Amino acid sequence: MTDPKTSTPFTRILVANRGEIALRVMRSAKALGYRTVAVYSSADADARHVQEADQAVCIGDPLPAQSYLRIEAIIEAARATGADAVHPGYGFLAENEDFARACRDAGLVFIGPSPEAIIAMGHKAGAKKIMMDADVPCIPGYQGEDQGSERLAQEAARVGFPVMIKATAGGGGRGMRLVRHAGEFAELLASAQSEARNAFGDPEVILERAILEPRHIEIQIFADRHGNAIHLGERDCSVQRRHQKVIEEAPSPVVSAELRERMGAVAVKAVKAIGYEGAGTLEFLLDREGNFFFMEMNTRLQVEHPVTEAITGLDLVALQLRVAAGEPLPLRQEDVRFDGHAIEVRLCAEDPDQGFMPQSGTMALWAPSQALRVEDSLRSGAEVPPYYDSMVAKLIAHGKSRDEARRRLLRGLEDSIALGFKTNQVFLARCLAHPVFAAGGATTAFIGQHQDELLQADAALGRQATVVAALLLAETGANAQLRHSERRLAHTLPLGQRFELNGQAVTAALTQEGPHRFAVVLEGEGHAVSLLGIEGQQAQVLLDGVRERVVFLRQGHTLYLHWRGHPFVVQDRTHAAAARQGADGGDGKVRASMNGRVVAVLVAEGDEVQAGQPIVTLEAMKMEHVHSAPVAGRVSLLAASVNDQVAAHRVLAEIEPGTNP
């Protein structure tokens, strides 16, 4: 029963976030009978979270990514709509003590911990000191106030290389750098501080001895204002790229019941010591000998919370709302039960074949597998802007065993349709299928150790997709020269086709052998392919005697395909002019590789530069990308300034070729 003295009831919740995060919170809030309010930037005016909320307020900013950081605008939006509670989601202001305090000062219930708890545990240096005072095992390092480069270099040498540089604020892997030897410390320190300053407004860092190839294990906790605290087991988040999580699962394949109990007890003790309230996660590194070390605490709900929900049967957002209203936790530690195994993958708008470069644009066709739990804010035809994190969806599978969950997720991922721009879909599937991951042996070094295998192209599959593309271009093109033709084979001449498949030029010769049946010759090799029927955006084809389904979407000269779990984009060049020259920068032009914001201009007009020298740094989807000079010479034009929003392929600078080596 709720104590009237500690009760903080509310009826209308403003969700201070966007996208799938906001939609996830709204779903549980609506189920409990609450009204919901969305806030949005100018770039998100047509977003799903705006459309599905009961009310919505624009808090736009000239820089859309900054809109969700405008504390005063969010508080004013709550006043304007009559909201009496605020849920911060995760990311943006979720771990910002100033925001939590501003909500409290405005008489709003903040659905999260107190500002004091956020300060205590949300700051890596402070949290580590609290843990050390509580005799929780911590990684040796430096978390002092002296942030001078010389002092930090001295402390790194004392700690011993390899050493990890970590921003004290924020999360998501930003502001983190692994330094393997002293010679690269200064450069990587400057890079980490710059990224931390841009991402969190705070360049402060801590240093820790790097534990190589550990498991990344986190403990989910919940606490209420009545002194109760429990843990909900662990999640294994070891599969990471650049310190950002890619795959998460619960429970961990390497954590025993005894180790779970010990780690959980440490986590509960820590949050009770500071009077914590709400959801939180303590993150640990687990070494090969089974020793665990505290890393940090996230004073919020985690992106990967669905896997915990899957194995416990609990709604963690609903628990947050009940605790924020002053209710005691509805269960004790002994009531927590774990059922089966759950795995989640993060679908990101990025190109794995180009160094995982962030992508943005129109999601032409989105049809996720109905066999999975899917958390997203996508829809066919929706724009994915370049201003935010690259994650666009989460796909989760639950099974009685780990391997059952893995198989279900792998099939569901391959069956999901995401066409319009490049994603890491195939990369994720290869991770799930890799024998090391299948055996439960993936550490934080997994992607780095196996990246070549995970990125290796399937040549046979690509050839089959090329044949299918040739068929569909002929059958769905604007002229469709061969469609419904009843001419006899003896009078049919081969038809030449030129197109690009995933950027690779293709020349094919098609000869019609009957209605919707063709012989296709590629590089001297023949294939038999037939179109058996089309229903909506699905085609049944017969390729070299095997009948299969292909999902396709034709938009002008562009044909999108989803074939055997792989997306393909086809550009019909049969009647197109030759491609423009200089697209690779051989003309001395430095072009934006993506939509993004200019965060640094590193040269001036008239400067002499060498090939490969950094010219401009762009920020897209919370990551920085350095653009370098394609040739040696003189900077004859600078067409970008700091804070400019630039479109992909825009010329940022021009280098007049010279004789520099």
Q: Looking at residue 513, which CATH number applies to its domain?
A: 3.30.700.30
Q: Report the pLDDT averaged over residues 259-275.
A: 92
Q: What contacts 503, CB < 8 A, 6 or more positions away?
A: none
In terms of domains, do 238 and 325 share one? yes
Round to whole Å and give the CA distance between 540 and 562: 12
Q: Report the pLDDT averaged over residues 260-289.
A: 93
Q: Does the pLDDT at position 202 exceed 90? A: no
Q: Report the pLDDT averaged over residues 411-431.
A: 97
Dihedral-angle region of residue 356 (phi above 0 means left; psi in -120 to 50 means alpha; beta otherwise): left
In terms of domains, do 469 and 447 share one? no
Domain membership flag for residue 549: yes
Domain membership flag for residue 246: yes
**Domain boundary, last residue among 209, 228, 255:** 209
Q: Given pLDDT bands bounded at 50, 70 and 90, which one contains residue 211?
A: confident
Q: Which of 599, 595, 613, 173 is nearest to 357 (CA)?
A: 595
Q: Report the pLDDT averaged over residues 86-113.
A: 96
Q: Which of 648, 562, 500, 540 is nearest to 365 (CA)?
A: 562
Give the count of domains, the chain.
Answer: 5
300 is catalytic: yes
Q: Specify the CATH number for the domain of residue 287.
A: 3.30.470.20
Round to whole Å and give the CA distance between 193 and 5: 45
Q: Does the pLDDT at position 632 exceed 80? A: yes
Round to whole Å and give the CA distance between 492 and 91: 61
In terms of domains, do 281 and 341 share one? yes
Q: What contacts 175, CB < 8 A, 6 or more positions away?
A: 165, 166, 167, 169, 192, 193, 195, 196, 199, 200, 205
**Domain boundary, last residue among 523, 539, 572:** 572
Q: 492-521 pLDDT, tens per residue? A: 568 889 999 998 999 999 999 999 999 999
Average pLDDT, the chain: 91
Q: Given pLDDT bands bounded at 50, 70 and 90, which one contains residue 648?
A: confident
Provide the 3-class DSSP secondary structure of residue 304.
Answer: coil
Domain membership flag for residue 133: no
Domain membership flag for residue 130: no
- Which amino acid belongs to residue 624? E
Q: What is the pLDDT of residue 49?
A: 97
Is 501 in contact with 568 (CB distance < 8 Å)? Answer: yes
Q: What contacts 577, CB < 8 A, 6 or more positions away?
A: none
Token pair 């919020």 is found at: 300
The phi and psi torsions of 563 (rounded to 5 degrees) equal: -130, 120
Provide the 3-class DSSP secondary structure of residue 414.
Answer: helix
Q: What is the pLDDT of residue 482?
A: 44
Q: Which of 35, 300, 346, 408 is catalytic?
A: 300
Q: 161-195 pLDDT, tens per residue? A: 999 999 987 666 788 899 999 999 999 999 999 88
Q: How many CA atoms lie within 13 A of 144 on its CB side?
A: 13
Is 75 in contact with 51 (CB distance < 8 Å)? Answer: no
Q: Does the pLDDT at position 645 exceed 90? A: no
Q: Does the pLDDT at position 274 exceed 50? A: yes
Round to whole Å and give the CA distance between 245 and 285: 14
What is the chain's alpha carbon radius of gyration, rounded to the nearest angstrom? 27
Pairing of strands 645-646, 596-601: antiparallel
Q: Report the pLDDT averaged over residues 421-445.
A: 97
pTM for this model (two decimals): 0.85
Is 51 in contact with 23 (CB distance < 8 Å)? Answer: no
Domain membership flag for residue 230: yes
Round to whole Å and give the CA distance between 34 and 562: 40
In terms of domains, do 411 and 469 share one? no
Q: Which of 283, 254, 280 is nearest to 173 (CA)?
A: 283
- What is the percent of the chain with per-residue pLDDT over 70, rounded to a whole number? 93
Q: Given pLDDT bands bounded at 50, 70 and 90, which one contains residue 115?
A: very high
Pairing of strands 85-87, 12-15: parallel
Q: Specify the CATH number for the domain of residue 631.
A: 2.40.50.100
Higher model confidence: residue 114 or residue 242? 114
> In this structure, what token pair is assigned to residue 456?
């290796």
Is 217 in contact with 234 (CB distance < 8 Å)? Answer: yes
Q: What contacts 472, CB < 8 A, 6 or more positions away?
A: 531, 539, 550, 552, 554, 559, 561, 570
Q: Does the pLDDT at position 415 exceed 90? A: yes
Round to whole Å and give the CA distance between 475 and 530: 10
Q: What is the pLDDT of residue 65?
A: 78
Round to whole Å and give the CA distance between 354 and 350: 9
Higher model confidence: residue 584 or residue 380? 380
Q: 566-596 pLDDT, tens per residue? A: 999 999 988 654 444 344 456 789 988 777 8
Pairing of strands 365-367, 382-384: unpaired
Higher model confidence: residue 223 or residue 503? 223
> In this structure, what token pair is assigned to residue 447?
């992607």
Is 369 in contact with 390 (CB distance < 8 Å)? Answer: no
- Which amino acid belongs to residue 643? N
Token pair 């037939």 is found at: 530
In terms of domains, do 468 and 449 share one? no
Residue 285 gets which letter from DSSP?
E
In terms of domains, do 502 and 532 share one? yes
Terminal Cα-to-Cα distance of the chain (whole angstroms): 77
Round to whole Å and give the CA distance between 597 and 311: 41
Round to whole Å and give the CA distance between 485 and 503: 31
Q: Does the pLDDT at position 479 exceed 60? A: no
Q: Given pLDDT bands bounded at 50, 70 and 90, which one contains residue 3?
A: low
Q: Specify the CATH number for the domain of residue 147.
A: 3.30.1490.20
- What is the percent of the chain with per-residue pLDDT over 90, rounded to a whole number? 73
In terms of domains, do 468 and 451 share one? no
Domain membership flag for residue 135: no
Query: Between vectors from CA 291 to CA 290 and to CA 295, what angle results, nearest 5°?
Result: 125
Length of the chain: 661
In terms of domains, do 315 and 415 share one? yes
Domain membership flag for residue 249: yes
Q: Given pLDDT bands bounded at 50, 70 and 90, which one contains residue 477?
A: low
List C-alpha distances in Å: 285 to 155, 211, 525, 643. 21, 8, 53, 37
Q: Report the pLDDT averaged over residues 34-46.
A: 96
In terms of domains, do 527 and 622 share one? no
Q: Given pLDDT bands bounded at 50, 70 and 90, which one contains residue 336?
A: very high
Round to whole Å and give the CA distance between 106 and 336: 36
Is 431 in contact with 447 (CB distance < 8 Å)? Answer: yes
In terms of domains, do 225 and 185 share one? no
Residue 183 gets which letter from DSSP?
G
Q: Which of 8, 231, 266 is nearest to 137 (CA)?
A: 266
Q: Report the pLDDT averaged over residues 19-25.
A: 97
Round to whole Å and give the CA distance between 572 and 558: 6
Domain range holding 167?
140-209
Q: What is the pLDDT of residue 491?
A: 45
Round to whole Å and give the CA distance between 106 and 96: 16
Q: What is the pLDDT of residue 171?
A: 67
Round to whole Å and give the CA distance between 555 and 571: 10
The torsion angle over the Cα atoms of residues 36, 42, 45 and 46, rounded to 10 degrees, is -140
> In this structure, what token pair is assigned to residue 35?
């009204």
Is 379 in contact with 397 (CB distance < 8 Å)? Answer: no
Q: Given pLDDT bands bounded at 50, 70 and 90, which one contains residue 661?
A: very low
In terms of domains, do 61 and 21 share one? yes
**Domain boundary, last residue among 163, 183, 209:** 209
Token pair 């303590």 is found at: 282
Query: Between vectors from CA 207 to CA 203 and to CA 212, what angle results, nearest 5°?
Result: 125
Round to whole Å and give the CA distance between 303 and 20: 10
Q: How many CA atoms lie within 13 A of 375 on its CB side?
A: 24
Q: What is the pLDDT of residue 198?
A: 82
In terms of domains, do 447 and 361 share one? yes
Domain membership flag for residue 354: yes
Provide the 3-class DSSP secondary structure of residue 320.
Answer: helix
> In this structure, what token pair is assigned to residue 399?
């099974």
Q: Which of 442, 395, 398 is nearest to 415 (CA)?
A: 395
Token pair 């593309």 is found at: 469
Q: Does the pLDDT at position 138 exceed 60? A: yes
